[in-house]
Structure 1
Amino acid sequence: MASQDLQLVLHAHLNHASVAANPQELTKHLQAFTRDWKKEPSLDQFDAALGVLQEAKRSPNNLEMVALWWIGYVQDIVLSETIDTFSVDLKDALLKAVEPLAELVRNPSATVVKRAVQTCASIYPVVFQICCQESAGLANLWGEYALRIKQVVLGHLGSPNEGILLAICKYMQTVVQIQSHSQRNSMAHDSETLSLNKIPSTHPFLNPTVLQHESDALLRELLSVIQRPMISSTVVTAIINQTSALQRARPQFIPAILGTWTSFLKPSPPPHFTPLQIKFIDKAIRIQLLSISKMQLQPPQLQIVTETLSIYGVKYSGNPLSRSQQQQLLHPDDDSRRSSKRGRSSNNQDSEDLELKRMKQEPESRSTNTPPMSAPSGPPTLPGPPGAPPPPNIPPGFGQNVLSQINITQLPVHHVVDIIFETLAANHIPHLFHSFL
């Protein structure tokens, strides 16, 4: 319970918010409440906060702002480590929240719907944990969230809004994970320890078999989302990441999930995806495959993982992938670029050597066909006094025969220099030749 002084402050924030004259003032008081409430989380102000939400319905301009604040407040409550999960106060608060949550999930604002669904996903594990107690009096709480709220949320599964659709898929992942059995090779975390294993065999209303059947059906529904016509790459990538987390928590789902992944891209991806979108989806699958390969897999799971990795050219035997195998899986373009570069380098080297050999032979053949120069007539000309050298006498069309068919930009620098030397020497221009040395 919060201290008396803090309770007074929190109630004052809510009172001021309910009579705020404008949205700016309303936002200020709601933010102040959230800030101070987190200092000592409690349920003392729950009814007053619910009253602010009810009051906001009279002012449509403020309803979305207050609704988002209240949804966040409820989520803070269920995620708080200070509030006792098994307290009567929390159970009562969750029952009071059912009707407002159901209304907000049906709200015309896509932002409100998305946030409400996200909060329902956070509430579901808490409700399951509470209801695992052997008490028939908890059946009402279970019915409100496992039946009523679940039905309202899944009713939006056909929504064209990507944000809402992804929130619902996350909600489905949560339900599937909780309503399934945990196995010995599960990679469990605190949030993943809730499973059908927690239900006592003598529980008055929770039937593990029925819940497992519902979980299997929801998983099939979740995987079918990425097979919808014209589904966006954003949704596909998000579901791949969500179902990857589900595989780590529930390895028994690996065959079904990996089979859906591979059938999505193989033999050919949906035609409406761009090459870049396909590349991102393929990269997401590769990353998740690497994560799954680090698990201790049972024979059926090992078989499907081995087959899937073989599609990507990686040989897998159940042992952790080597560094080179990880590189091959995550960065296949690097290997193809390296092999392509090696092929181009070898081809370029061969063509360069042939070109240089042809260039060397061309001046020799041209010099053998050149008639001998006639001896000069008259007395020899004596050299004059030293001065500036005469301009070089470059023959017309110099270098065109030799260089016309060579792409200089594709040759290494040392070959370019060799070509220059050979050309200058072959055309008998020694003063330019020696100026390069």
Structure 2
Amino acid sequence: NSTGKVSMDDNGICLNLMNGHASCETMSRNRKRHYSNGSKERDAKRSRTESQDKCMSWEDLPEEILSTVFRFLSNSDKSNAALVNKSWKRVFSVPSHWVYFDINLTTITFEQGLDICKLISSEIKELTINSETYRLTSTCQCVSVRVLVNLFRALIDKEAFDIKQIRLLNMSHILSNVDNASHDLVALMTILIKKQKNLRYFKLDSVSMTTENSCDILDALTGKISVRSLNLIHIAKRPDEPIMQRLRSLLRSMNYLENLQVGNVALNDSVLGSLALSVSKLTVHILNASDPPTLVGWKFLMKINPELKLKLVLPRQINMDKEDFENFLIDDMAVSSVYLTIDMSSMSFVHQVIAKRLKNTLKHLNLSIKGNVDVSEVFMAYSGKGDDCQTRGHMTVSAWKVRN
């Protein structure tokens, strides 16, 4: 709720964390207004007492409670930053409990970033960094880059080399720059990745990376045989040959890769041929449907791995005619899942193609459509007859102005 409070009584601890940015004084005023029916003196006394409760007591919480609180703070950094601000050092004074680390660079100051770097633990297992710097001024963006540089340097200095999951989100405004700070950041990022001993999951969300930065990060990931899941949707958005060459080397080196999420422009024949036999799940995000992978590569991939579970995610803005779309969704690809969010006014044939070409293999369909179209064919083909009904997974259709 909007009235954050930390209180202790004989029965234990009650923790309510606020959802918005508000200082303790602001919350005190809000609470005072809320209880305006009482006397002013009683309300003022109550506000002072509860304000003290809200801002007190972090250092008094036992360590076993702190270890639980940290988990909630990591998932609610933006909401709790103001509440925690006054007791920042005391809250983060037990670095041995830092196992899951989730930071949003838009919610902390440079000084708070320095405090984190001093106290950060080498026992971190999951690292998530959200850099929504496009919301900030250029000056604040520079501060965020400096915080991130210090953070990666601290992780390296403290030998945090047993991280299982790394998620780097909304990094475009940082990794697309060519200044010295961004160069240092990528250099430290690649060192940290190379040093990891048991990295299982890696996600990099950066739409507009430079070719040089993309190549450096792909080089750092190459040879990490422990990796099971890779999300590189945007890292190879442009089919530059240096990027494609490194992507092929990366895939050849990952013998135990189970899940790969990548844009279709990266899946040319040579890259598809480099996919390891053990890849069991392939999520393809159609970033440029006017240039889909050729059928030769897809057929080869399905031949060497007939059990592959393929999920296609199509954007709203897509430019393919019916013949191209049919050819792309070929029968022997054994597509198991299709996620479509599309305006049917521009591609009214999509549901017909699905019904016609995928009725024997499709297990999961999530279809979000817009436009005055008849989707009865999809239901007819998807429901099947007899034993076929038992082989289906689930189907979700959300639509506007749908006939029948």
Scaled by the length of structure 2, the TM-score of the pair is 0.42
Asked which structure has the greater RCO (Cα within 8 Å, sep 6+), the reply is: 1
Larger Rg: 1
Higher helix share: 1
Higher strand share: 2
